[in-house]
Chains A and B, each alone.
Chain A
């Protein structure tokens, strides 16, 4: 299993631990990652501004991966939604594809819609499989309640992103439960984190975050878990900011899924960057069963 790893702009600067945790977990699960240094912006920040610029930006990444005959694995859901959307538009609209390819040709690139874009969670679920993951878990959690946050841009529009059932998804819950944790029921599970409006309408953005945090707390969750750059920033840095500046603290820190999984696979917590989150999550180690499971034949 080989993928081109697409990190995007934010992870290498602001969420380095998401990268290191993902790499560690995927290595354990025999997923080989190829780095393509020429990758550029996924196109997401350009969507409000110019459709063609966004598609071009995405297409260049798709073309770079296609040149090496690799499918893309991506850690961010906004990036995932964007690359999928661009891929869809390029398949749907031959003229758009022609225009984009004319520009890409200047660099000797072209995109022929020959690869797939997958989110890390669907790689873990569909390509690796729950069974294989389960075998790698040495020290599961007990009594840990997790609020699983799906993320809009992975779920919708479902005909384009094809991640899971948009109304009753279960992929992420199953990935959480394989660690021994309980994925709690919470009513705003599929709602937006508020991230896309940060910087444009902060008040509205924080309203969303606030609602979700309160709901997760109500459902009894100890932690939230995410699989997206923007959601994580919202539930980690922004939640911390809300606690200090607005004085509203819901005490539901957010942990990135590869951190959650990696810990019970016995991966070193420094590699997982447990100390790198804005809100302290190291307490989660207390939920691991005291004794590692006996090596099963």
Chain B
């Protein structure tokens, strides 16, 4: 009952999830040209594209890509043998387990009329496929432990998927073990298949002895050592009633191993009916995994092959713009979060100082997806994505290295355009406006300012660094302002820039944070270092301005938090 309800519920969630995720491919609008194309146009373009590809010579390309890239994953093999091995083990092992064991009623028993899960080769293969998955996971963990470099921890989402997989595998093996040792399971089987009456105690003893001896059953009353004749008799009975469906449990090497570990407490486990409990855990974990799949990292099982196939037949510039828009949306989902881009990223190292995950390309892509999903993101989150987007130097390395060929660079440009539409432009330009609006004292011409420091901690932040603290020796000669080419560019520089360089130095001496940070001059500084070069007092004027920009951006971040 519970089984059926759980099965259909999770199946329904799974299907709904798939539909939802796939519908996003037609709804997410990335890029300028995508904005004017409706979802329905995109669906029909996709259907048309698929149909015309299948019924053309391109079907050959698709088959080739499917075989080499999707099934055999040669792109990964070329990159890194161990990683390929891990990936192939996990996915081949799991698919085979699913087909042969999970869907045995639908597939295996239909294909093989002598199918019993307890009969070889099926009994052996089930454990073997399980082992293949476990070996794959082992290699993956080993690689991860070895890898150095600025690679961040996987995020929670990745762990959930792996935990579910682990629960399924482990509960399966232990369940198998408890079944092997279970006396009550044995009794049920005997009742059903042995065709012996309760009076035939000698036969029952003999069969029992044989199963205890050879099949690992742990019985409370039948215990060895047994004499040869009993075993011989048991063997005959076994061959008559049981052998048709049963190979020796040693073939199920993992389950058998587990059963040996459990054998001392077998009766206890049997009485407590741990077997049933494990069975619930096992199938509930499977169903939960199925329901969660469309929402997890494992959705790439569907999206990545689709992307690889579509990418193989698309023609840059020639394909239907509606399909190109759809492709970009699929790209977002095709990312497997493998982190190769981040390992190669030119600015990932900054993550050590600026703990904003959006600096890292594989995280930034996930953030872009959240942005597109239309969920209202907080100002803080948007600012973090903005910062990550603009720390990026567009060096193209992520795109060159992406194992499945996602055009990340193109997505980053679109992400910036998207952010700009929401009002989040380049941080420097954005901060100039935000700071000017917040600290608008410069504009209030007639207001008398108090000379008491507004924020005592402020100057402490500057004197913390040797270069910025040099402002204190300024004696007000104004050379910096006089030589500044930015100041020189304006007829009325105060109008355009707020405070001029020497005035900013004064503000610092007065500890006047609001004035110093609100000046547009900070952001219009062209960093040519002419002022610093010419300062007779050795004030590192340009470097002080750099520091003030750092402080202003930090201030904006803290304010949004």
Give chain A's interface residues, CB within 8 Å of chain B. Answer: 9-10, 12-13, 40-41, 45-53, 56-57, 60, 89, 92-93, 103, 106-108, 152-153, 155-158, 166, 191-192, 194, 196-197, 199-201, 204-205, 207-208
Q: Does B546 make an interface contact (CB < 8 A)?
A: yes
For A49, list chain B residues within 8 Å (CB): 354, 387, 391, 427, 549-550, 553
CB <8 Å contact, B394 and A9: yes
For B547, list chain A residues within 8 Å (CB): 51
CB <8 Å contact, B524 and A197: yes
CB <8 Å contact, A46 and B546: no
Interface size on B, residues (CB 8 A): 46
Q: Does B378 make an interface contact (CB < 8 A)?
A: no
For B550, list chain A residues within 8 Å (CB): 48-51
Q: Which residue of B lies closest to A191 (CB)?
A: B485
CA of A89 to CA of B547 in the docked complex: distance in angstroms? Answer: 14
For the A-B complex with A40-B345, A106-B148 known, give 13 more contacts whose Cβ atoms are closer than 8 Å. A9-B395, A41-B393, A46-B350, A52-B353, A57-B350, A93-B466, A152-B528, A156-B528, A157-B529, A197-B524, A197-B526, A200-B428, A208-B489
Q: Which of A10, A53, A107, A191 contacts B528 (CB 8 A)?
A: A191
Q: Which of B347, B394, B533, B554 contacts A46 (CB 8 A)?
A: B347
Top 5 nearest A-B pairs by Cβ distance? A9-B395, A156-B529, A53-B353, A9-B393, A192-B528
CB <8 Å contact, A51 and B465: yes
A94 to chain B, nearest CB (A): 11
CB <8 Å contact, A53 and B526: no
A238 to chain B, nearest CB (A): 14
B68 to chain A, nearest CB (A): 27
Q: Which residue of B lies closest to A59 (CB)?
A: B349
Interface residues of B in 379-433 (CB under 8 A from A): 387, 391, 393-396, 426-429, 432
Provide the main secondary structure of the chain A interface. Answer: helix
Q: Does B352 make an interface contact (CB < 8 A)?
A: yes
Q: Does B478 make an interface contact (CB < 8 A)?
A: no
Q: Does B513 make an interface contact (CB < 8 A)?
A: no
CB <8 Å contact, B347 and A57: yes
For A48, list chain B residues within 8 Å (CB): 427-428, 546, 549-550, 553
B492 to chain A, nearest CB (A): 14
B99 to chain A, nearest CB (A): 42
B411 to chain A, nearest CB (A): 16
CB <8 Å contact, A13 and B395: yes
Q: Which of B149, B349, B530 contacts A56 (CB 8 A)?
A: B349
B314 to chain A, nearest CB (A): 23
CB <8 Å contact, B526 and A45: no
| Cβ contacts A to B, 18 pairs, < 8 Å | A9-B395, A40-B349, A46-B347, A47-B527, A47-B546, A50-B353, A53-B350, A53-B354, A103-B352, A157-B529, A157-B532, A157-B540, A196-B526, A200-B426, A200-B428, A201-B523, A207-B489, A208-B485
Q: Which of A41, A49, A92 has the most chain B CB within a 10 Å cutoff?
A: A49
CA of A290 to CA of B489 in the docked complex: distance in angstroms? Answer: 44
CA of A47 to CA of B465 in the docked complex: distance in angstroms? Answer: 14
CB <8 Å contact, A56 and B549: no
CB <8 Å contact, B528 and A92: no
Q: Which residue of A lies closest to B497 (CB)?
A: A204
Q: Which of A92, A103, A204 contacts B524 (CB 8 A)?
A: A204
Q: Does B467 make an interface contact (CB < 8 A)?
A: yes
CA of A12 to CA of B467 in the docked complex: distance in angstroms? Answer: 33
For A199, list chain B residues within 8 Å (CB): 426, 428-429
A83 to chain B, nearest CB (A): 14
Encode contact with A along B523-559: 1 for CB under 8 Å, 0 otherwise: 1101111101100000010100011011001100000
Interface residues of B in 349-394 (CB under 8 A from A): 349-350, 352-354, 387, 391, 393-394
Q: Does B139 make an interface contact (CB < 8 A)?
A: no
CA of A51 to CA of B348 in the docked complex: distance in angstroms? Answer: 16
CA of A60 to CA of B546 in the docked complex: distance in angstroms? Answer: 21
Q: Which residue of B lies closest to A204 (CB)?
A: B524
CA of A29 to CA of B101 in the docked complex: distance in angstroms? Answer: 69
B535 to chain A, nearest CB (A): 10
Q: Does B31 make an interface contact (CB < 8 A)?
A: no
A40-B466 CB under 8 A given contacts A53-B353, A157-B529, A192-B485: no
CA of A50 to CA of B533 in the docked complex: distance in angstroms? Answer: 23
For A156, list chain B residues within 8 Å (CB): 528-530, 532-533
Q: Does B108 make an interface contact (CB < 8 A)?
A: no
A158-B526 CB under 8 A given contacts A46-B350, A53-B354, A200-B429: no
A35 to chain B, nearest CB (A): 14
Q: Which of B347, B350, B527 contacts A152 (CB 8 A)?
A: B527
B493 to chain A, nearest CB (A): 12
A201 to chain B, nearest CB (A): 6
Q: Does B262 make an interface contact (CB < 8 A)?
A: no
